[in-house]
Structure 1
Amino acid sequence: MAWRAGDLARDDSWIHRLDAEDIREIEEAARFSRTRQVDILGIEKDDFPLPRLATKIGMLREDIMFRRGFAYMRGLPVTRYDRETLTRMYFGISRHLGDPVPQNRNGHMLGHVIDIGTSVDDVNKRLTQTKAGLEFHSDSCDVVGLMCLATAMRGGESALVSGVAVHDEMMGRRPDLCRALYEPLTVDRRGEVPEGKQPWMRIPLFMWQNGVFTGYAPLEAYLQSARRFTDVQPTTDLQWQAMRMFLDLCNSDEFAARIPFEPGDFQYVHNHVVFHSRTAFEDWPDAARKRHLMRIWLSLPDGRELHPSIAERWIKIERGTVRGGVNIPDRRALTIPLDPTTPAFA
């Protein structure tokens, strides 16, 4: 999984393209689940049968878990369908990969990555419903999925990086800085505080558990906003220096794979080994053309064993269970909002 950008340019086998029969099967599966009157949130794998596409999804899953740590499925004609059908398709396909988990305090099991005017300065909200750029980071789940419905007028460029490759480069160049990221960083929880926890957390970026590497990359903005807490050990000067090197490597042309989204793309990323980012963007004047991705967080029943430090964020990390997601006392009932302007943090 220690790939560099040039490796992906030379071999695009991580892209799994949908053909006409695949698309027909997805449409039929959506009709099948609707005919059975299965609510989108209640869809299980058997409610969304994909006997032909299952082979391609199996290859995609192998890429995610054991090969490069991510994969794309490309070619769904998204303009052909209404919002309910698209949501049903996305949720149904994703159920063949894993178990969805809630991704915010409102209990959203699918989220909309779209600018709704949320202030970037609000420390109790995340940045996904703004037009701000996002540094390389990981989410609180085994696999994060994005389905592209529309791209921005300018910017909004997505990129992936192998955390394994960046770790190894740091170890070779500056082992002292690499080692500093094995020590806990202080991260702002942004108002999502699990029961019995502080509004901040302490968690390393690099971890190993029984010979298996795990990375957890917080957004730099959340490290910065954690400075407001005075009752916790701060991120050290050496760790800030290490974070600068980490992000410089992630953003370099050697390591960052900048993959333009196309409408109809499905991107699935193994959060423990591959980190993702986006640049700031400017949207189209027409609201109907706004940059719009749909996001899902998945728990893998056969996912890797995780370092105990991950439990500080996830709470539940045991293999073979539905783990990860947002687990806080005031989380609302699980739901799937069809309206993309629904605030994730009302």
Structure 2
Amino acid sequence: MKNIRKQTYTLEQYLKDMKAEKIRTDQECQRLSGQWNPNMVNELIASVLTDDYIPPVILGEETTSNGITRQWIIDGLQRSSTLALFRYGNTKITKNLDEYMVTYQRKATDENGNIKRDEQGEIVWENVEVDIRNKTYEQLPEELKEIFNGYQMEVVIHQNCDTTEISKLVRKLNNCKPMNQAQKAFTYIDAFASEIREIAENRFFKDMYSCNNKDRINGTFERAIGDMVILCEYPSQYRKDTKVGFKWLNENATILDFENLNDLLTRLTESTEITSEIRELFNRKNGYIFVATFKAFTELGREDKEFGKFLHWLITEGKDTEINEKTWTELDIDRSTRDSGTVHGKLDYLTELVKQYFTEVKNAA
């Protein structure tokens, strides 16, 4: 059997260790917290308060070159983060809970608040029911707080892991809610996971990238960043399958590729007059293609702000310009959005349109 040990924490101690970063929640290939809907959150908290079973959390234990031991959550991040938010973050149990009455024991008291005792002097206990809906941790009775804090949290620890082994475990052991394809693919690029997460904080993704509220946590940003690096630096390696692309980058890319992309996104965001129409260009379907087009534009030796002018022209007039009997309007209808032929067709069209704009259209104006 592999070098695995089991350990039991009180939930209070486990959450304290998380808060103190003794147990780390930011393993680079792990999907971000916040994946659960309110019903799942409710059921987990109710399970703790009623002392029901929760599957063990799985940690990967890594010892660094200087002898420091770190533990990373590799399965159970959603459970752990949910419980931490309830304990420390004022998360409320919502009303959508089937079994919302929780029974606990407390010391009986008289009308003056004094603890009752029987004829033998023993404390009199009573069973009490409480409705836990719409309550935060602080609104629970003290007895239920004690039950929450004292819950026995089972932990399984994989010892003597390195970064690659932990990434493999993340990919293998996510059982509560299966990873989607983008999240699972991200576990194949452990060599650059921290660089990708850093790029995901670039202002581009807040100011210019068109997305929904879940894209930050469902792997969409990470996939887009990988696609951007490939199209900007290694366009012939682009594949529809994100996992294939991430595996190739993991073995062949350099940190400089990711640093260059971060700089490129900063330049693009700072030099462009961003409108709702511009944001719509940089959507999940085409955002990485337009970033690669900007990369090609930078090689023309023109000022960055001129690319923004090109984008505005594309929106108002240029989208119907024919190149090889195709217009952007026609290309953008194609539903096979990630197919290699579709992506390269769009990129080739846009890079050629950029050249035409600056050699013919702009000069003619």
Task: Report the TM-score when normalising by structure 1.
Answer: 0.21
Larger radius of gyration: 2
Bigger share in helix: 2
Structure 2-normalised TM-score?
0.21
Q: Which has the higher contact order (CA 8 A, sep 6+)?
A: 1
Q: Which has the higher strand share?
A: 1
